[in-house]
Homo-oligomer: A and B are copies of this chain.
Amino acid sequence: MLAVLTGGTGGAKLIQGLSLETDPAELVIVCNTGDDFVFHGLHISPDLDTTTYTLAGFADTERGWGIKGDTFATLEWIGKYGGESWFKVGDRDLATHLTRTRLLNEGLTLTQATEKIRKALGVRSGILPMSDDKVETRIRTPAGEISFQEYFVKERWSSEVSGVAYAGVAKSRAVPGVVEAIRKARAVIVCPSNPVTSIGPILAVPGVRQALEETPARVIGVSPIIQGAAVTGPADKLMAAMGMEASSFGVAKAYADFLDTFVIAPEDSSQRNRIEALGVETVATAIRMNSLDDKKRSAREVLALV
């Protein structure tokens, strides 16, 4: 079994590749839930959804979110009522949020709701939220604190960021399967996701980081940064805001206590010595994933390290 830690877009690319290059039933995906939020009364888990849709084979991989071919009739009509429509919920996607919200209201945990959803969609990989407890990634901006989705989707990461907090994380408990997966895996793969707002919240859940440090499995990371710039999203901006070096080295340094191997882009070969000085082995190979072939190739590179 391979344990995979991921956020949304960037991680989903590698996960798609992994699911095609190995038996999907071998994968246990641990998803960030710090981006979860309530929209029109519905519990939305963007990273769980992106992961589930990706593994079910109907993710919209061009847009990077939602369901391929989805329509937006409900959202357009919500706009007529003056309701907020900045988060682009498709009609099919909405069924997931309605179902999850109903299941949670019926008393199921987020883990149990996620399990029902992935089974209904025929997904064979395990999908686990990092925690069943509420952890909320909060972005501090000059105008005040906002949720990650407000920062990421509503403001399209235009705000200046002075800090990031994972509200509730200290009291949160990891889903038992998460720690178990990390400890028992053949290898742990840390996806090329935002180290501050995707992987960061997972690592902050009590017990997860320790499990990563202690697992006998090889922990393999893939850099979300190439030549100082995030491949997708605001990872570089957020790293800089957190006082981290926005580079492959900066990511490796944040993970150095548990990372065995870090896969970086050939363009970042100049950083290999600095990263290896952290005690982290490096592999330089093409990790930009634009096409399906890119995703499969990157997945093969990672699987070769397992």
Contacts and interface: CB of A to CB of B under 8 A. Distances in A.
A102 B83 contact: yes
A82 B120 contact: yes
Given A40-B102, A102-B83, A91 B73 contact: yes
Nearest to A122: B80
The count of identical subunits is 2
A156 interface: no
Nearest to A80: B120
A94 B95 CA distance: 11
A96 B99 CA distance: 18
A53 to B, nearest CB: 11
Contacts of A105: 41
A116 interface: yes
A179 to B, nearest CB: 28
Contact of A101 (B41, B70, B71, B75): B41
A78 interface: yes
Given A40-B101, A77-B91, 19 more contacts: A41-B105, A70-B73, A71-B73, A73-B73, A73-B91, A74-B98, A77-B95, A77-B96, A78-B95, A80-B95, A80-B121, A81-B95, A81-B99, A81-B117, A81-B120, A82-B116, A82-B120, A83-B99, A83-B102
Interface of A: 40-42, 70-71, 73-78, 80-83, 90-92, 94-96, 98-99, 101-102, 105, 116-117, 120-121
Counting from the closest, the 7 A-B pairs by CB-CB distance are A77-B95, A73-B91, A77-B92, A81-B99, A78-B95, A91-B91, A81-B120
